[in-house]
Amino acid sequence: MKMKSDKSKIVVPVVIALSIIFIALIAGAVVMLLRMNSENNSAGIRENEDEAEIVQQDEKQSDSDKDKDSDSDKDAEENDNDDEKTEASTELKSISGLPKTLKLEKNDTYIFAPKPVPDDFKYDEVSYSSSDESVVVVSEDGTLTAKSSGNAVITVSMDNVKRKVKITVSDKEEIVSEIQELMSEASAEVSKMSAVTNKDLSMLKERIEIVSSFVEGYEDVDLSNLDNQELYQLQIELSQDIMPEIDALKMEIDALEVIVVKCSYCGSTSHTVHPKCNYCGSYSHTQHPTCSICGSYDHTEAGHPRCNICGSTDHAVHPAISADI
């Protein structure tokens, strides 16, 4: 019994020790498996990363190839455009360097300087023509000469392209003459309107005064001293402002049926009472005729008393001859 007890005391620790070893082996095996699984996962991740990096590199290479292709296309397109530009330079598009309209004074000259568009175009020749050579003539080199007042069109031809320029020629003497006629007419009409008397005319008085002051302001102006721009301005004011206003006032005055006061003797509107002679009251003269010999208003020189013997105006009765002689 004692031996059995001793054996059991020995066996139990051994079993426990073996169990611990077995558990340790199993635990080690489990740790090894986990470590191997972890390494496999890490390797898979690295492989995936490598594959992703390879894919990215492929995509970058593809994008780079596309950019190169795009640049090549752009270069080709630019070359095409350059070719088109080169072709465009061989075709005349238009003519530059010319005014649309031109105002000249009689006897003025002006030189055209046309340029091709594009400017590198090589043209063969330029020609000029005038629609009315009585107004303006043009030479072969493009020099204009204004001949008389009026309008004309100059046609500039460069190969198969044409440009037209409208020319207006004015004559200062004609403008001055026209202005003077307008001023004279305006002055006469203003004088007539100023002589009108009617209570209803009060509403037109201010307008009449404006027209009158304008006309009076230019009556003493030497038009020959005005430059063309000032003459044009005056001509426009007269023809477009003053004369239409005068016509409108005349119509309104006529509509009011105003009474124009006239001289009963001569019919003039410049006065209502005709001047007369203070001595005899005649309307045919204001200064009564007098005798140049004696100054009498009763007779003239022809009616002055004369001597019936000698005809002298010094005496009317000829002195008698003395008997002593």
* Residue 307: partners with Cβ closer than 8 Å, 6 or more residues away: 313, 314, 315, 316, 317, 318
Burial class (CB in 10 A: 0-12, 13-18, 19+), 145: middle
The larger pLDDT score, comparing residue 15 to residue 103, is at 103
Is residue 156 a contact partner of residue 140, using CB atoms and an 8 Å limit? no
Closest by CA to 136, choosing from 149, 123, 125, is 149
Q: Match domain 94-170 to its CATH number in 3.30.420.40, 3.40.50.150, 2.60.40.1080, 3.80.10.10.
A: 2.60.40.1080
Q: Where are the domains of the chain?
A: 13-88, 94-170, 174-260, 275-325
pLDDT at 101: 94
The larger pLDDT score, comparing residue 3 to residue 262, is at 262
Distance separating alpha carbons of residues 209 and 246, to the nearest angstrom: 11
pLDDT of 110 > 60? The answer is yes
Six-digit token string for 1: 């019994």
Each residue's pLDDT tens digit, 72-81? 555 555 555 5
pLDDT at 295: 73
Is residue 116 a contact partner of residue 95, using CB atoms and an 8 Å limit? yes
Closest by CA to 237, choosing from 186, 193, 190, 194, is 186
pLDDT of 58 > 70? The answer is no
Which span out of 70-74, 241-245, 292-296 was modeled with the highest average pLDDT?
241-245
Would you tell me the crossing angle of helices 243-255 and 205-219 to the nearest 10 degrees? 140
Distance separating alpha carbons of residues 309 and 305, to the nearest angstrom: 12
CB under 8 A, 24+ apart: contacts of 306-313: none
User: Which region, left, alpha or beta, applies to residue 148 given φ > 0 means left and ψ of -120 to 50 means alpha?
Assistant: beta
User: Which region, left, alpha or beta, applies to residue 295 given φ > 0 means left and ψ of -120 to 50 means alpha?
Assistant: left
Q: Amino acid identity of 116?
A: P
pLDDT at 128: 95
Each residue's pLDDT tens digit, 117-136? 998 888 888 999 999 999 99
Is residue 251 a contact partner of residue 219, using CB atoms and an 8 Å limit? no
Each residue's pLDDT tens digit, 12-34? 666 777 778 878 777 777 777 77
Distance separating alpha carbons of residues 33 and 117, to the nearest angstrom: 87
- Three-state DSSP state, 212: helix
The larger pLDDT score, comparing residue 309 to residue 152, is at 152
Distance separating alpha carbons of residues 207 and 246, to the nearest angstrom: 9
Distance separating alpha carbons of residues 313 and 105, to the nearest angstrom: 70
